[in-house]
Chain A
Amino acid sequence: MKRKKLLSLISSICLISIVGVLPFVGGCAPPEKEPIKIGAILCLTGVVAELGPKFQAGIELALEEANYEVAGRPIELIVEDSATDVTTAVEKFKKLVDGDKVHIVIGPLMGDSHLAMAPYAAEKKVLVTSLINGMYEAVKYRTYLIYPTTCMAQTYPFGQYCHDVLGYNTMITIGANYAGKIAYANGAAKGFEDAGGTVVDQLWPDVGTPDYSPFIAAFGEADVVLYALEGPGPVSRFIYQYREAGKTMPLVTITQDGDYTPEALAELGDIALGIPGESSYPWQLDTAINKKFVAAIKAKTGVVPSCSEQNAYTMAKVVLAGLEATGGDDSFDKLWPAILALKIDTPQGPLSFTPEGVAITNMYVTQAEKVDGEYRLSAPIYTVHAVRDWRLPE
């Protein structure tokens, strides 16, 4: 009996020792590095719900190319839905910052949301990136990466193009009634007027307006109508109703690369042809880096990219490059200056930043074309290099 007890005691000690040693076989296991959390606030539901998955695809592609790792630290992406609503976007931002403890947030889309979030982002020292342009009023907080540039700066050269190249002298603008599109429309209007043109009327339908016919009926006479609506759905609806109403004034637009998604063009068909528009990213740009990006997005989503995928991809790449430069330190005080010092090539073209965090990029003019029965956004028909917001110091 005593021998049995002794034997079982020895066996237990051996077993415990083996179990205790196993983790250290092959050397001591180092403590795992904490993941870098990157938040993304995307419009997965709401008025421009079709853009949310595109942004997400771009961010995921950038992270997949980096194997979800930077400077030896794993990356955790946390995606939240803004529902294309300012209140929801702010709530989700606070959840990411206070609950998930993120220091980097990509998005949301709408300029109003940026403005609402900006003071809290500054207080909590969270780096935020725009998705499609950004509000100049947020520049002062010095926590925003505004890409490809501010809304007004993006469209100002296009307003000049409408006067100087297309030869129009009078313009009517119709823009969605929220901060971002108001800025876009006003940027183009200012460029048009600074070039010598006259803006005869400006109309501002509410976001989500289902029926544009009252506004179309209110159009006076002008050489051209510029529309700046909140996304592919409203743009498609406006063009359809404008053509349906029998109006003949030429149309021009801004953010055409975001609105003329392959799906929207396929549905619009011929009525989308012949409308020149400002685009920050035409997918047919003839560069090696862009061709590689287009192929990767097409493999991932089945369609060619619009600016939505490209912008989100580039912002994620910028964040990764900044984290690489800081050795994986995602604190705002280290990451912000590291990103501002970057000069990189992107699918959209060369990219750098002003000290205020506003990107300096190219602007293009495009239009819809029909090639072999397929509708698509054209290659650039006009390029403006290194667009920079004129209100920022040189």
Chain B
Amino acid sequence: MEAVLLTFLNGISYGMLLFLVASGMSIVMGLMGIINLAHGALYMVGGYIGWTIAVQYDLNFGLAVFLGGCAGGLTGLIIERGFLRRLYKQPNEQVLVTFGFVYILSNLCVWIWGPRRRLQFTGEALSGLIYLGNIPFPVTRVFTIITGIVVAVVLWWLQDKTRFGAMVRAGMDDKEMTTGLGINLERVSMLVFFLAAFIAGIAGVVGAQLLGVYSWLSTDILVLALVVVIVGGMGSVQGALSGGIVIGLIDTVFKTLFPQFSMFTIYVAMIIILMVRPSGLWGRRI
């Protein structure tokens, strides 16, 4: 029973991390129709900046999270303003450009921080264990779950309860009509992209508590983010959250029970879900 509960909690914490990574990507793909393959690289940049603040300069972990988010956001903004906005409705070119940025940013990180993988780090207040009955559970994973919940609530509130969210949803439904109503959709898109990249950067620091940070993290995390977006459905916070939790649980459970199959279980799950709901769990029906 203890092992089952521990596996479940590990799966939830991992799933929340996947949600943090995938949420921004899902919204960008849904609103702007942009396939941003550099999203994993933004996560990685945030992680490295967080490591620099929290470990190299031994500063506050909360500051590391915030600045990691800023680093991800600014990097994303440069990519969007400098390159992607000129490639509207050109998906092939978007894929190529953003994939190119994966290599550029990965090699920049090797150049700045070296090839060595950076160990997990966290704040002093988040070190240690809490006990759920007799079961020890790391505080870092509790923090990951809480961060995921907070981000999910904030994004849901923005999406469903604010004028800004209404503009975003209108833009997803009908770009031309929304623009015709006088809404500056380009500015809305830019803010959405920045927000998505900011969350990716935050995810990089939060995720570094579990996974550390390394130069090829961008491709590792990108694959997982894509699976979550596909499973959950594009363009919705609920989709990214449910996709993250489903994939996190499946991956963790199978690694615990059937490790020899763990390499491909999430892809099998993705195929099965797509066969039943091609648009994903919360995606708009096709």
A268 cross-chain contacts in B, Cβ below 8 A: 119
Top 6 A-B pairs ranked by shortest CB distance?
A: A233-B117, A246-B136, A214-B255, A49-B115, A50-B116, A214-B256
Cβ of B125 < 8 Å from any Cβ of A?
A: no
Interface residues of B in 92-132 (CB under 8 A from A): 110, 114-120, 129
- Are A205 and B119 also in contact (CB < 8 A) when A211-B211, A218-B3 are? no
A237 nearest CB across to chain B (Å): 6
B136 touches A49 (CB 8 A): no
CB distance from A302 to the nearest CB of B (A): 12
Inter-chain contacts of B260 with A (CB < 8 A): 204
Kindly state the separation between the CA atoms of A49 and B217 in the bound complex, as whole angstroms.
13
Can you list 5 A-B contacts (CB < 8 A)? A49-B216, A214-B252, A244-B138, A244-B140, A264-B119
8 Å CB interface, A236-255 against B: 236-237, 240-241, 244-246
Query: B193: CB under 8 A from chain A?
Result: no
The reply to whether A213 and B262 contact each other, CB–CB distance below 8 Å, is no
Binds A, one of B6-14, B169-177, B194-202: B6-14
Residues of A within 8 A of B14 (CB): 211, 213
Q: Which residues of A contact B114 (CB under 8 A)?
A: 50
The smallest C-beta distance from A341 to any residue of chain B, in angstroms, reads 38
Q: A211-B211, A237-B211 are in contact. List 11 more A-B contacts (CB 8 A).
A: A44-B115, A45-B115, A45-B215, A50-B115, A214-B251, A218-B3, A218-B257, A245-B136, A245-B138, A264-B116, A264-B119
Contacts of B210 in A (CB 8 A): 210-211, 213, 241
Closest CB-CB distance, B249 to chain A, in whole Å? 11
Question: For residue B118, which residues in chain A have a CB less than 8 angstroms away from its CB?
Answer: 267
A84 to chain B, nearest CB (A): 9
Collect the chain A residues with CB atoms within 8 Å of residue B10's CB: 211, 213-214, 217
> Which residues of chain A come closer than 8 Å to B58, judged between CB atoms?
none
**Contact A217–B3 (Cβ < 8 Å):** yes
A42 vs chain B, min Cβ distance (A): 11
- Decide if A205 touches B259 in the complex (CB within 8 Å): yes
Residues of B within 8 A of A203 (CB): 259
Query: A286 on the interface (CB 8 Å rule)?
Result: no
Contacts A211-B210, A244-B138 given; indicate if A49 touches B119 (C-beta within 8 A): no
Minimum C-beta distance from B247 to chain A (A): 13
**B-facing mask of A20-57, CB < 8 A → 1, else 0?**
00000000000000000000000011110110110000
The interface residues of chain A lying within 8 Å CB-to-CB of B214 are: 233
C-alpha spacing A210/B257, complex, angstroms? 17
B1-27 contact mask (Cβ, 8 Å, vs A): 1 or 0: 001001100100010000000000000
Per-residue 0/1 for A185-217: is the Cβ within 8 Å of any B Cβ (1 yes, 0 no)? Answer: 000000000000000000111101111011101
**Chain B residues in contact with chain A, CB under 8 A?**
3, 6-7, 10, 14, 110, 114-120, 129, 136, 138, 140-141, 210-212, 214-216, 220, 251-253, 255-257, 259-260, 262-263
Number of A-B contacts (CB under 8 A): 95
The DSSP consensus for interface residues of chain B is helix
Are A233's CB and B116's CB within 8 A? yes
B216 touches A45 (CB 8 A): yes
Contact of B259 with A204 in the complex, beta carbons under 8 Å = yes
Please determine whether A49 and B259 come into contact, CB atoms closer than 8 angstroms.
no
* CA of A233 to CA of B120, assembled, Å: 10
The answer on a CB contact under 8 Å between A236 and B115 is no
* Bound-state Cα–Cα, A236 to B214, Å: 13
Least Cβ–Cβ distance between A325 and chain B, in angstroms: 36
* Alpha-carbon distance between A209 and B252 when the two chains are bound, in angstroms: 11
> A263: CB under 8 A from chain B?
yes
The answer to whether B256 and A215 touch across the interface, beta carbons within 8 angstroms, is: yes
With a cutoff of 8 Å between Cβ atoms, the chain A residues found around residue B259 in the complex are 203-205, 214-215, 218
Q: What A residues does B252 contact at CB under 8 A?
A: 211, 213-214
Residues from chain A with a CB closer than 8 A to the CB of B255 are 205, 209, 214-215
Residues of chain A contacted by B116 (CB below 8 angstroms): 49-50, 232-233, 263-264
Q: Which residues does chain A contribute within 8 Å of B253, judged by CB atoms?
A: 214
- Chain B residues positioned under 8 Å from A206 (CB to CB): 262-263
Q: B256 near A236 (CB under 8 angstroms)? A: no
Smallest CB separation, A308 vs chain B (Å)? 13
Within the complex, the shortest CB–CB distance from B178 to chain A, in Å, comes to 40
Chain B CB within 10 A, most for which of A214, A215, A237, A241: A214
